[in-house]
Each structure stands twice: as C-alpha cells, then as structure tokens.
Amino acid sequence: MRTLAVVGGGAIGLAIAWRAAESGWSVTLFDPAVGSGASWVAGGMLAPLSEGWPGEDRVLAFGAASLARWPEFAARLETATGVSVFVADETLTVALDTADAADLRTVAEWVGERGHDMRLLDRQGVRAAEPALARTVRAGLLAPAEPAIDNRRLLDGLRRACVDAGVETRAEKVDDLDALPFDQIVLAAGAASVLLRQELPVRPVKGEILRLRHRPGAAPAPRRVIRARVHGRPVYLIPRHDGIVVGATQYEAGFDTAVTVAGVRDLIADAEAVVPGIGEYELAEAIAGLRPCTPDNLPLIGRLTDRIVAATGNGRNGMLAVPLTVDATLGWLAGEPVAEALAADPQRFTTATRPAASPVGGVR
Ligand SMILES: Cc1cc2nc3c(=O)[nH]c(=O)nc-3n(C[C@H](O)[C@H](O)[C@H](O)COP(=O)(O)OP(=O)(O)OC[C@H]3O[C@@H](n4cnc5c(N)ncnc54)[C@H](O)[C@@H]3O)c2cc1C
C-alpha cells in the first residue's frame, strides 16, 4: 500500500486524509494541535456568488465548482459519521445606502450573466424575508443556492471519519517535509505552510470573529446568512443552532492571533446596525485566526515536487473550498489533475506570467 503523509490537520488536511485513506492510501496525519487553526475560528459561509465581483472570473469559477460539490461531500460525511454540517440554506446580502444598493445590482448582473441564480429584493422584500433586520436596510441580494455550515461540526465529523478510515494521527510538528519517509506528502498547514515551503506565496491575514449565544427573551436569529457593509467594513451574521456567529475583521498582522478591543467593538457595532436585536445575546466567545491568503485569491493546489503536493492558500474561502481541494489533491496524487482546479496550480507563480496581486476581497 502506498504511504501518504498529510501535514496539517485543519479542515483541508483532515478531509484529504479521510478521502485518501478511503481510496486506498496508508495515511499518517501530522499536527501538534489538530483542528486548532483557521478552520476552528471560521464562520462557515459557502458564498462564492455573493462575493463575486466583475473581473474575478477565475475565483468565481473555482468557488462555484466547490459549492456544487458540497451537497455530495456533506452527505458522504453524514453517512460515514452521522454528523450533519449545514446551518443555513441561503445567503442574503443587504444594502444600507445607495452605493451599496448599486453594488448589489452590479453583483447580481455579473454573476447572473455567468448562469447563477441571484435575486434582487426591495426594502419590503428584504424585511419580509428576515424580520429581524434593521429598518434602515434598503435593498438585498438573495443567493438561494448559498448555504452555510458549522465549521466546528465539520471538524468533529472529519476527525471521526479519519479514525474510522484508519488514518494514523501523530501530534507532531513537521519541520522538514523532505525528511518525511513517505511515498507522497500533502502540505496542508494553512497560513503556516509558508514556514515549511518559503517559495509559496501564502501569507497570514488575521480575522477576528464573535460567537453570540441566544438568551431567553432575545429575538430569534436570522434564518439566512446575512452579509452587509457598515462604514465601509464588511460584516456577516451566520446562524447556529444556539445563536449567531458575527464576523469578521480582516487585516495583516503577521502570525498574531490576539483579539483586539477595537475589533470586538467594531464587529458588535456593525452587526447591531444590521440586526439590532443582537444586543440581547450573550457574548460567548471572541477569537482570531489566520486566513492562508495568496496574491490572486486562488488557492495553491498542485505539485511542488515529485513527492510533495500543496493543498493550501484557501484564504477567506477555505470552508467553501474543502470538496474541490480534496478532489483536486487526490487527482494530483493519482496523476489525474482535476480540470476545474487547474487555475489553482502553484506553478502559475513560477512562470513568466505571474499574476498581479489583488486585494483580499470580501463584502463590497
Ligand atoms: C475569522 C475567519 C472567518 C472565516 N470565515 C470563513 C467562511 O465563512 N467561509 C470560508 O469558506 N472560509 C472562512 N475562513 C477561511 C477558512 O477558515 C480557512 O481558509 C481554512 O480554515 C483553511 O483551512 P486549512 O486546513 O488550510 O488551515 P487551518 O485550519 O489553519 O489548519 C492548518 C493546520 O496545520 C497545522 N500546522 C501548522 N504548521 C504545522 C507543522 N509545521 N506541522 C504540522 N502541522 C502544522 C496547524 O496546527 C493547523 O491545525 C475564515 C477564516 C477566518 C480566520
């Protein structure tokens, strides 16, 4: 049996380890703290359409291809472990001013032209859909095909699936990929991947996020993912079985994961401007994590050497990207690259046509 080392046990590494073991590899997963990285911190939106923007065709195509794989991936995980991950079925982006309303029309038109279903809602339509929204909301853009998952349930399910599939887990930090005595190695160490392969164009982008717990008497959470921009800052609210996740700040601070007072203050103020009732909730957790970002907002999935395959750089969309990243990585291991993920081949950064850096993106 061929041996595979997976370095990094976030959602990406766990999912690859599970599926590789199921498809016949003898898999060893290395991570000193499985499931403690960005995958634990994340919100769980699967929102490539709502995040679409003219000019970002390749990012939209990759995200939409992964979104299309999510139902089957989630069903397979539920069959294997009994863990179900979905917490919302739809995403609603709302506008608080005329500039944001114009942006929603731009997104609706551009994404619609590419064959995806998005619906503009007027003020009444938005409030009818989500009565908890502030009266200042003037328009909305509904993505009926964009669900959300509970990232922590996903990690729980993937860990169980790995155990059942026979993955051996070693609580060890890897310092030298080349020294690992395995036939093949997958590098899935998130933002820390750059510490193991310095030529990889991955950088940490910090994000702070809150978990609010519902209290007796507080207004019910929205049923959908709600996204908005307040004072130019993106904010989103994602339902959970016991409350709401509010995210997220976004800035470059190296590998720092301290939660700042300003970050918490802005998130609460911005979320309250969109859903005023959250003030009644309990502030259960404030946490920060590091998104593994790349210059062009596409991941890095593909061969680095004849023994090492990269599966990293999923940036702000690493939950969304799980199913396609798994299929693409298994494809590289089998010598059969997956067409929908070829744009993510790290070789794009080593050729003469190196793409120009673009902003991290987000709610516009
Ligand atoms: C605030 C926030 C909100 C987010 N919201 C969303 C969202 O709504 N939707 C979405 O799609 N994405 C979201 N993301 C992005 C998503 O969380 C990441 O893209 C994704 O979790 C990356 O997964 P990963 O497995 O590559 O990395 P990680 O989850 O960071 O896992 C990397 C693992 O590698 C291990 N590791 C590191 N170095 C070594 C080493 N040398 N040896 C062995 N192991 C090592 C770490 O211990 C860690 O467990 C969000 C991120 C943040 C920070």
Q: Which residue has the tokens 């939209």?
A: 60
Q: Which residues are CB-neighbours of 339 under 8 A, at least 6 positions away? A: none
For residue 199, the CA-to-ligand 1 centroid distance in Å is: 19
- What element of type H or E holds 309? strand 308-312
Q: Which residues are CB-neighbours of 42 under 8 A, at least 6 positions away? A: 11, 151, 209, 289, 318, 319
Closest ligand 1 atom, CA of 188? 26
For residue 158, the CA-to-ligand 1 centroid distance in Å is: 14
Closest ligand 1 atom, CA of 318? 19
Q: Which residue has the tokens 């160490």?
A: 189
Number of neighbouring beta carbons within 10 Å of residue 43: 23
How far apart, in whole angstroms, are the C-alpha atoms of residue 323 and residue 12? 9
Residue of the CA atom closest to atom 53 of ligand 1: 289
Annotate 118-170 with DSSP letters as a single string.
-EEEEHHHHHHH-TTS-TT--EEEEETT--EE-HHHHHHHHHHHHHHHT-EEE
Which of 291, 300, 322 has most ligand 1 atoms within 8 Å of its beta carbon, as the pocket-test mutant?
A: 291
Instruction: Quote the pLDDT of residue 13.
Output: 98
C-alpha distance from residue 283 to each of 94, 257, 262, 264, 330 (Å): 24, 19, 15, 10, 40
191 neighbors 49 (Cβ within 8 angstroms):
no
Closest ligand 1 atom, CA of 33? 47
Strands 308-312 and 300-303, sheet pairing: antiparallel
Annotate 37-76 with DSSP letters as a single string.
SHHHH---B--TTTT--TT-HHHHHHHHHHHHHHHHHHHH
Annotate 260-284 with DSSP letters as a single string.
PHHHHHHHHHHHHHH-GGGGGSEEE
Closest ligand 1 atom, CA of 205? 53
Which three-class secondary structure state does DSSP give residue 12?
Answer: helix
For residue 248, the CA-to-ligand 1 centroid distance in Å is: 14
Residue of the CA atom closest to atom 15 of ligand 1: 316
Closest ligand 1 atom, CA of 314? 19
Q: Is 3-349 a CATH 3.40.190.10 domain?
A: no
Report the pLDDT averaged over residues 87-116: 97
For residue 149, the CA-to-ligand 1 centroid distance in Å is: 15
> Tokens representing 118?
């998005």
> Tokens representing 43?
């919100």
How far apart, in whole angstroms, are the C-alpha atoms of residue 127 and residue 109? 22
Closest by Cα among 313, 317, 274 to 64? 317
For residue 40, the CA-to-ligand 1 centroid distance in Å is: 7
Residue of the CA atom closest to atom 3 of ligand 1: 42
pTM, rounded to two decimals: 0.96
Annotate 75-90 with DSSP letters as a single string.
HHHHHHHS---EEES-
Instruction: Quote the pLDDT of residue 138.
Output: 95
Provide the Cα torsion 337, 343, 344, 348; round to 10°. 110
Give the tens place of pLDDT for each residue, 34-91.
999 999 999 999 999 999 999 999 999 999 999 999 999 999 999 999 999 999 999 9
Q: Which residue has the tokens 């609210």?
A: 237
Report the pLDDT averaged over residues 330-358: 85
For residue 122, the CA-to-ligand 1 centroid distance in Å is: 36
Give the tens place of pLDDT for each residue, 124-158.
999 999 999 999 999 999 999 999 999 999 999 99
For residue 272, the CA-to-ligand 1 centroid distance in Å is: 27
For residue 191, the CA-to-ligand 1 centroid distance in Å is: 7
For residue 208, the CA-to-ligand 1 centroid distance in Å is: 13
Closest ligand 1 atom, CA of 36? 49
Which of 18, 19, 41, 266 has most ligand 1 atoms within 8 Å of its beta carbon, as the pocket-test mutant?
A: 41
For residue 87, the CA-to-ligand 1 centroid distance in Å is: 20
Give the tens place of pLDDT for each residue, 200-235.
999 999 999 999 999 999 999 999 999 999 999 999
For residue 219, the CA-to-ligand 1 centroid distance in Å is: 32
Sign of the dihedral defined by the CA atoms of residues 48, 54, 59, 61, in that order:
positive
- What element of type H or E holds 22? helix 11-22
Provide the pLDDT confidence category of residue 258 given band limits of 50, 70 and 90. very high
Instruction: Quote the pLDDT of residue 1.
Output: 87
Task: Read off the DSSP letter of residue 248.
Answer: -
In the structure, which protein residues have their CB atom closer than 6 angstroms to any atom of ligand 1? 7-13, 30-34, 36-39, 41-45, 173-174, 188-190, 192, 196, 207, 209, 247-248, 289, 291-292, 312, 314-320
